[in-house]
Amino acid sequence: MKHMLKIVVTGSFAAGKTQFIRSISDIDVVDTDFKTTTNEERGLKSETTVALDFGTIVITPSLKLYLFGTPGQVRFDYMWEELATGCIGYVVLVDSCRPAYFAETQHLMHRFTEITPAPFVVAANKQDDPAALPPMYVRRRLGIPAEIPVLPCVASERSSVKLVLISLLKHITSYGATSDAEDNVVDDAPSSHASSA
Amino acid sequence: MALEGSLEDMSLSDLFQVFRMGPKTGVLLLYNRHERGVIYVNQGLLVDAFVVSGPERKVVASKDEAVLYMLDWTTAGFIFRHDPSVVGRAVQIKHDAEWLVLENMRRHTSPQTAVPYRKVTLDTRLQLSPIPSNTESQVSLGVDQWRILSHAANHQTVREICAETTMPEDKAIRIVAELLAIGLIDVSSAIAPPTKATATSNSRPDPSHPDARQSAPPVGRSLLSAILRRVSEL
């Protein structure tokens, strides 16, 4: 029996969602990128996600972690609800070099907390730029309470994306969104992936 | 690669706080329709600044006065680029950023324009700023500023502070804006964290419940542990 779990990667336009999933996915990311239409968007990137990005991480032969990236622009927000339904947690990516998108990110976070009760972490992307805003300032500007992790992130670096996902998984565990019972899916289908420390 | 935006999205006083937090070294360029301003930042400290106007680039202000001049701008664009060469630049600015921000606010009747995205009302709930400062400030606070600061530590609203201190509301709002601008206090978080789940392995969403479709599925601990191990291996 095949099982899947879903994590959603969201954030404003050009925050780095597609790159984030590309950096960690086991498969070539399925994307729905089309050419950007407005001058402002063209100034930042030539293509943008209009429906979703999709990547996977194989956990065991019978279990996959699905990563869904949402489109960033508010005009595609009808997709957010569909993508967020049933997710175990989500990552909010923030462009640490573009404060112009902070208001949009706040709107997006409010919308997501309405859509899903799943725990989330915030990843302050583009921290490889020495001019980038520090995660602490991002937390302050977005009004993120201390209980929610705000992490430094470089979406183009696999190790950085990995740390964000690990933090999200630990955050999910700490928020009690898990059961105490052992899960047969993993125990019945042990693999080298699942059994190694 | 640079930090880019508009002062409507991020005020100059906030930029100064970020420079101190880094601490950052580089050049901040500000521009509006007719003028250009440059501020040199070394390890979070403002070391030099000037403003030029028009195509002939006539110098309008320099050093401390240039920073005060630019603190009046509310709609200019900005670009901050990391630039290690600023380290060797001679220090021309006498006062630190906090002093300059407060001095600018003292000269104006509407200090709230310094932080346009943090609207201060009587219902604004305050807290002490979590942002650490790496350099010692030269600013000395007045008695009323200290009174507001001490009440902000208790997460009180501006209205509650006015009631306890008998401070006039307009004065309290003005002082709150000043303390916000220099990064000593902050507005309390607006986003509530998700409530802790009480799901068990046997719990299933009630399909008749309107929220059932939105609920996150309960996930086994062993399942999460397996995912954690796998992601750690990547």
Please state the domain count of chain A: 1
A186 contact residues in B (CB cutoff 8 A): 220, 222-223, 226
Using the Cβ of B215 and the Cβ atoms of chain A, whether some distance falls under 8 Å is answered with yes
The mean predicted confidence, pLDDT, of chain A is 82
Domain of residue A66, CATH code: 3.40.50.300
Backbone dihedral angles phi then psi of residue B96, each to the nearest 5 degrees: -85, 170
3-class SS of residue A174: helix
Residue A189 lies in a domain: no
Q: Per-residue pLDDT for A39 more than 90? A: no
- Please, what are the averages of pLDDT over each run of 10 residues along chain B (234 residues)? 94 94 95 95 96 91 95 94 95 94 82 71 87 64 90 89 92 90 82 54 40 54 83 85
Are B76 and B6 contacting, i.e. CB atoms less than 8 angstroms apart?
Answer: yes
A144 contact residues in B (CB cutoff 8 A): 189, 191
Using the Cβ of A66 and the Cβ atoms of chain B, whether some distance falls under 8 Å is answered with no
Which residue range(s) make up the domain with A65?
Answer: 3-181
What span, in angstroms and rounded, lies between the C-alpha atoms of B93 and A17?
Answer: 41
| Residue A87 amino acid letter | C
ipTM comes to 0.80
Tokens coding B94: 């006498």
pLDDT at A164: 97
Query: Is domain B119-217 in CATH 1.10.10, yes or no?
Result: yes
Mark yes or no for CB contact B229/A197 under 8 Å: yes
pLDDT digits (tens, 9 = 90+) for A68-79: 999 866 667 777
Which one of A85, A137, A169 has the shortest CB-CB distance to B224?
A169
Residue A188 lies in a domain: no
Using the Cβ of A44 and the Cβ atoms of chain B, whether some distance falls under 8 Å is answered with no
What span, in angstroms and rounded, lies between the C-alpha atoms of B141 and B145?
Answer: 6
Residue A164 lies in a domain: yes
Residue A192 lies in a domain: no
Residue A121 lies in a domain: yes
Cβ under 8 Å to A: B residues 81-140: 81-82, 117, 129-132
This prediction's pTM: 0.81
What span, in angstroms and rounded, lies between the C-alpha atoms of B45 and B48?
Answer: 9
pLDDT digits (tens, 9 = 90+) for A151-187: 999 999 999 999 999 999 999 988 765 544 334 343 3
pLDDT at A23: 93
Mark yes or no for CB contact B220/A182 under 8 Å: yes
A146 contact residues in B (CB cutoff 8 A): 130, 189
What are the residue boundaries of the structural domains of chain B, listed by start? 3-93, 119-217
